[in-house]
């Protein structure tokens, strides 16, 4: 993305080198398809990911490909490994085995501090916003990666600093309008209803115009009407902001209505990866996850 290319140019060279040291792109670039074919490359690919915590295998041999513009749901029972998968993609966890591909770059561990520079943004299962800051300032925080603090101190008061600040503020205004947060833009985020706080977190993730947006249970704990609104915002994030989305969600009706494809995890293993219609009638999925609620699911999702 143009903005991110700018970001990388502004970042100090050693930081870039460090990020690239973790990447194994140099080796893997040589085996990539010709440039003309790269447009069709998945935005995200996981190959053979394994992750253990002591004796617990959180992820076992998981492969996943997410195509550009897809809304890809990841579902599964509690403890199935969904959040672990997102934490591997965003570099919070280093897998014991496997690779994470972001576009044409492969990582053994994604450099989480440079996540935004790689075009990735995320929200957390447990809401992570600055409750004492205004909505506007929370959204601005989503652009904090653009300029390193040391560099900012050097250029403070300069035309460049003013231009960067104006661009960031404009981007924040844009996403605040997009997510209908204008009326509350000056409110302390912590004083808002929970559904709106979730929306603020989504705005902070979206403000950097990520290529890949990772959402860990964005609808958990919100009311039914907030869920419908948020669901529409997620769809619009893809349609208007061009983000490819990986969505973890327990509400099957929402998942089946919103996603293009659904990966199902059970006990750390991927047991299905198919369209919502196929997943709905997959016996292994019904047994592992949908279970007795299956009939309700059918009623809700049709
Ligand atoms: N940091 C950690 N330390 C130890 N065990 C962990 C850690 N993170 C996850 N696990 C374990 O890995 C397994 C998968 O957990 P994970 O949080 O990924 O599941 P989940 O599918 O997101 O569940 P939920 O639907 O409850 O959010 C669980 O057994 C969990 O206890
Ligand atoms: Mg989880």
Residue-wise pLDDT tens digits, 220-269? 888 888 888 889 999 999 999 899 999 999 888 888 899 999 999 999 99
Is the distance from CB of 179 to CB of 234 less than 8 angstroms? no
Residue of 50, 56, 267 to mutate, ligand 1, most atoms within 8 A of C-beta: 56
Half-sphere CA count of 142, side-chain side, radius 13 A = 32
Domain span including residue 280: 2-301
- Identify the pLDDT of residue 113: 86
- Identify the pLDDT of residue 245: 97
DSSP single-letter state for residue 20: H
User: Taking 80 as the threshold, does the pLDDT of residue 34 lie above it?
Assistant: no
Mean pLDDT check: name the lowest of 78-87, 170-179, 259-268, 282-291.
282-291
- Identify the pLDDT of residue 144: 81
- Identify the pLDDT of residue 147: 66
If pLDDT is split at 50, 70 and 90, which confidence band does 290 have?
Answer: low
Of residues 300 and 287, the one with the higher pLDDT is 287
User: Taking 50 as the threshold, does the pLDDT of residue 102 lie above it?
Assistant: yes
Is the distance from CB of 64 to CB of 45 less than 8 angstroms? yes
Q: Any residues with Cβ below 6 Å from ligand 1, and which?
A: 53, 56, 58, 76, 78-84, 125
User: Taking 60 as the threshold, does the pLDDT of residue 18 lie above it?
Assistant: no
Cα–Cα nearest to 207, from 134, 138, 139: 139
Of residues 35 and 162, the one with the higher pLDDT is 162
What is the 79 CA–ligand 2 centroid distance (Å)?
A: 7
User: Taking 50 as the threshold, does the pLDDT of residue 156 lie above it?
Assistant: yes
Structural domains of the chain, count: 1
User: SS3 of 71, please?
Assistant: strand
Average pLDDT value over all residues in the chain: 82
User: Taking 90 as the threshold, does the pLDDT of residue 9 lie above it?
Assistant: no
- Identify the pLDDT of residue 42: 94
Q: Cα separation of 274 and 151, whole Å?
A: 46
Burial class (CB in 10 A: 0-12, 13-18, 19+), 300: middle
Residue of 75, 76, 82, 84 to mutate, ligand 1, most atoms within 8 A of C-beta: 84
For residue 142, the domain's CATH number is 3.40.50.300
- Identify the pLDDT of residue 60: 98
Looking at residues 57-77, what average pLDDT do you find? 96
CB crowding 193-209: b at 16 or more within 10 Å, else e: eebbbbbbbbbbbbbbb
Q: Cα separation of 227 and 210, whole Å?
A: 22
What is the 78 CA–ligand 2 centroid distance (Å)?
A: 7
pLDDT digits (tens, 9 = 90+) for 125-146: 888 899 999 999 999 999 987 7
- Identify the pLDDT of residue 286: 80
């Amino acid at each position: 993305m143009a903005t991110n290319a700018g970001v990388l140019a502004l970042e100090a060279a050693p930081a870039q080198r460090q990020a690239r040291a973790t990447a194994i792109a140099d080796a893997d670039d040589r085996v990539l398809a010709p440039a003309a074919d790269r447009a069709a490359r998945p935005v995200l690919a996981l190959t053979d990911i394994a992750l253990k915590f002591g004796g617990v295998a959180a992820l076992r041999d998981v492969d996943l490909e997410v195509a550009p513009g897809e809304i890809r749901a990841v579902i599964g029972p509690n403890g199935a490994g969904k959040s672990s998968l997102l934490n591997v993609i965003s570099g919070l966890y280093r897998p014991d085995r496997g690779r994470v591909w972001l576009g044409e770059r492969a990582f053994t561990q994604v450099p989480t501090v440079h996540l935004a520079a790689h075009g990735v943004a995320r929200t957390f299962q447990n809401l992570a916003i600055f409750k004492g800051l205004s909505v506007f300032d929370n959204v601005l925080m989503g652009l904090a990666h653009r300029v390193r603090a040391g560099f900012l101190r050097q250029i403070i008061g300069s035309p460049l600093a003013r231009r960067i600040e104006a661009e960031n503020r404009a981007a924040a205004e844009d996403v605040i309008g997009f997510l209908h947060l204008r009326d509350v833009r000056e409110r302390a985020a912590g004083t808002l209803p929970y559904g709106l706080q979730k929306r603020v977190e989504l705005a902070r993730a979206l403000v950097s115009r990520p290529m890949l947006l990772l959402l860990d249970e964005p609808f958990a704990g919100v009311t039914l009407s907030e869920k419908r609104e948020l669901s529409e915002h997620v769809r619009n994030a893809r349609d208007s902001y061009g983000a490819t989305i990986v969505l973890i969600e327990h509400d099957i009706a929402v998942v089946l209505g919103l996603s293009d494809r659904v990966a199902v995890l059970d006990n750390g293993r991927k047991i299905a990866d198919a369209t919502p219609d196929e997943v709905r009638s997959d016996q292994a999925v019904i047994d592992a996850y949908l279970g007795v609620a299956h009939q309700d699911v059918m009623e809700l999702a049709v």
